[in-house]
Structure 1
Amino acid sequence: MTFDVLKPKITAIISDSSSKDHSLQLICDLLKTEIPHYDWVGFYFKNGDKEELKLGPYSGTPTDHTIIPFGKGICGQVALSNENFVVPDVKAQDNYIACNINVKSEIVVPLFVNGQNIGQIDIDSSTADPFTDADEHFLEFVCQSVATLM
């Protein structure tokens, strides 16, 4: 399924859902199901006033990494940089947190509300180097859409 077909589905989920967490779960499930190289899809959010991220809704293999300090791993780095991070090969990253031995690549896109980085969407793939500019732009759309729920 193409990203252009998924965009209205994301918009519909956000418009139709009764709760933020339910919407986020539906988005995770949709992306994991419909995009073959998205093997784990989840949201992390800033944990109150703490300098850490807390795992929110996700779809995929359970992870022990429910809390990630700012600066640690790809997600923690995005929490500080406020920039997208595409990792074609996780083994080439010194500051990578291994969540699953099958993960070969990762993309993390921050989620902004009123100019503040409040969280991110994190995608793991068991495919080496699958993420393109189209993935990045689509995930930016997802985060902009999700920001309307916050």
Structure 2
Amino acid sequence: MTFESLKPQVESIILNAEKAVNERLLAICTLLETHVNYYNWIGFYFRNGQKEELLLGPYVGEPTDHTVIPFGKGICGQVAVSNKNFVVPDVAAQDNYIACSITVKAEIVVPIFVNGKNIGQIDIDSNTPDPFTEADERFLEFVCTAVSTLL
């Protein structure tokens, strides 16, 4: 399934007001995990109030111990500080990487902005080396913009 064909499904999930926000976020994670074969762990992290840390939100994939991530630590923590997408083709080459699983080979993190403020991010791990392209970035930016309307 192509990213373009997933966009209306993401929009449909966002617009389903009968479900709680976290249910919709989990549905997006499930949609992506089901239809993008190299997306092996998909989750949302959100800023913890005024604290400089991220809290794990809805996700699909292997359980993780990384439920709280300080700003600046790991890929997610770096995105919380930089406010920029971070694509990691090879996690083994990253000094500031928090390993969740030995099977993870690559990671992409895209921030979510509400009123110009970085309030969270989508984090995707892949067990495939160097799978992420510019198309992934643009699609995940679309997802994050859609998610921002819920928050």
Q: Tell me, what secondary structure is at the counterpart of 1:122?
A: strand
> Unaligned regions of 5+ residues in structure 2, if any?
none
**Runs of 4+ in structure 1 displaced over 4 angstroms?**
none
Aligned partner of 1:13 in structure 2 is 13
TM-score, normalisation: structure 1: 0.99
CA distance in 2, matches of 1:43, 1:118: 11
TM-score, normalisation: structure 2: 0.98
Aligned residues with identical type, % of pairs: 69
Pairwise CA distance, 1:44: 0.1
Aligned partner of 2:147 in structure 1 is 146
Aligned partner of 1:87 in structure 2 is 88
Within a 5 Å distance, the mapping from 1:106-125 to structure 2 comes to 106-125=107-126
Pairwise CA distance, 1:16: 1.2
Within a 5 Å distance, the mapping from 1:1-150 to structure 2 comes to 1-17=1-17, 18-150=19-151
CA distance in 2, matches of 1:86, 1:4: 21
In structure 2, give the amino acid aligned to 1:59. Answer: V
Pairwise CA distance, 1:26: 0.1
CA RMSD after TM alignment:
0.5
Pairwise CA distance, 1:144: 0.1
CA distance in 2, matches of 1:138, 1:123: 12
CA distance in 2, matches of 1:23, 1:146: 9
CA distance in 2, matches of 1:139, 1:131: 11
> Unaligned regions of 5+ residues in structure 1, if any?
none
CA distance in 1, matches of 2:35, 2:83: 27
